[in-house]
Amino acid sequence: MTEVSMAKEDVASTGDLVVLKSVNKHFGALHVLQDIDLTIARGEVVVVIGPSGSGKSTLCRTINRLETIDSGEISIDGRPLPHEGKELARLRADVGMVFQSFNLFAHKTVLENVTLGQVKVRRKDRKQAEERARTLLDRVGVGAQADKYPAQLSGGQQQRVAIARALAMEPKVMLFDEPTSALDPEMINEVLEVMQQLARDGMTMIVVTHEMGFARSAANRVVFMADGRIIEQATPDQFFSNPRSDRAKDFLSKILHH
Ligand SMILES: Nc1ncnc2c1ncn2[C@@H]1O[C@H](COP(=O)(O)OP(=O)(O)O)[C@@H](O)[C@H]1O
Ligand SMILES: [Mg+2]
C-alpha cells in the first residue's frame, strides 16, 4: 500500500500541486463553499481575497483537512487527501499553515516549537532537527530568540516563528490565512518580507490577505471570492486595473480607498 502510493508521488512530481474539483461544503444551511474549482501549480503564489464571510478561511482549512468537504475532490501532489491517522499527520506536515493568531505552543521555547514536529512527524534525529530549526529561525530573523517562550516575543516575531515552524516540516505548499491581520502596523512588513522571500525562493503559496501591496508584488494570480464562490481570477495587474465583476469592483473600491 505504502509502496504503491510512493510510486504515485514520484510520477506526479511536476505540474499541478493543489487541485480542487467541484468542492462543496455546508455549515448547516449555509453553503459556504460552492462548486470550487481551483488548481495551483508548483511554485505558484496565489492570493485569495474577498469580503469577510466569503469562505476564504474555510477554503484554506479544507486543503489541510481541518474541515471535511461534502462533495468534490481535493488532491495534493496527485494524491487525494487522506482521511485519518499517520497519513493525515503527514499531509498536515506537507501543507504548512500559518494563521492570523499566532498558534505557537505557549509552554515550549521557540526552538522547541520549531523542532518538535520534525522529530515527531518527520522522524528526524533531534540534533539535526535543532540545527535545521536554528537555520530557519536565522532565516526569518529571530535566531536570537531561540531560547525564549512565545509570550516574550512581539507578534511579528511570533508570526515569523510560526512560519519557520511550518517550513521545518519541508512542506510542499504553504497556506497563510491573514497572517498579518492581528499585527500592529509596524510589524506587518517584517512578516510580509519573509513571505516575499519565500515566494522568490519558489515556494508554492496560497495566501489570504488584505495586503494588496503583497498581492501586487508577490502573487502570480489573484483569486476573488464572494459568498462561497470564486467570482473571478486574474493576474494582479489585470485584476487591480480591470476587475470584471461588480462584486470585485465594489470590494476593491472599499479596501483601496480605506
Ligand atoms: N465552524 C463553523 N460553523 C458554522 N459556520 C461557520 C464555521 N466557520 C465559518 N462559518 C461561517 O462560514 C462563512 C465563511 O466563513 P470563513 O470561511 O471564515 O470566511 P472568511 O475567511 O472569508 O471571512 C461565514 O458565514 C462564517 O460565519
Ligand atoms: Mg477568514
Under 8 Å between Cβ of 84 and 95: no
Q: Which ligand is nearest to the CA of 54?
A: 1
Q: Indicate if ligand 1 lies below 6 Å from the C-beta of 54.
A: yes
Task: Establish whether residue 145 lines the binding site of ligand 1, counting it when its CB lies within 6 angstroms of any ligand atom.
Answer: no
CA of 100 to the centre of ligand 1 (A): 14
Q: Which atom of ligand 1 is nearest to the CA of 28?
A: 4
**C-beta 55 within 6 A of ligand 1:** yes
Query: Which ligand neighbours the alpha carbon of 179 most closely?
Result: 2
| Residue boundaries of the structural domains of the chain | 14-256
Residue whose C-alpha cell reads 505548499 in the numeric block: 173
Rounded CA Rg of the chain: 18
The per-residue pLDDT of the chain, averaged, comes to 92
CA 249 to the chain's CA centroid: 26
pLDDT tens figures, 135-176: 999 999 999 999 999 999 999 999 999 999 999 999 999 999
Residue 158 CA to ligand 2 center (angstroms) comes to: 19
| pLDDT tens column, 54-68 | 999 999 999 999 999
Q: Measuring from atom 2 of ligand 1, which residue has the nearest CA?
A: 27
Q: Is the CB of 247 under 6 A from ligand 1?
A: no
Mind listing the pLDDT tens digit for each residue in 168-183?
A: 999 999 999 999 999 9
Whole-structure pTM value: 0.92
Cell of 177: 490565512
State the virtual CA torsion across 175, 100, 243, 15 in degrees, nearest 10.
0
Among the bound ligands, name the one nearest to the CA of residue 177.
2
Summarised one tens digit per residue, pLDDT across range 176-232 is 999 999 999 999 999 999 999 999 999 999 999 999 999 999 999 999 999 999 999
Ligand with smallest separation from the Cα of 48: 1
| Ligand 1 centroid – CA 131 distance (Å) | 39
Ligand 1 pocket check for 53: Cβ under 6 Å: yes
- Its CATH class, for the domain covering 14-256, is alpha beta
Residues 178, 186, 145: CA angle, nearest 5 degrees: 85
Ligand 1 binding pocket mutation candidate from 58, 63, 66 (most atoms within 8 A of CB)? 58
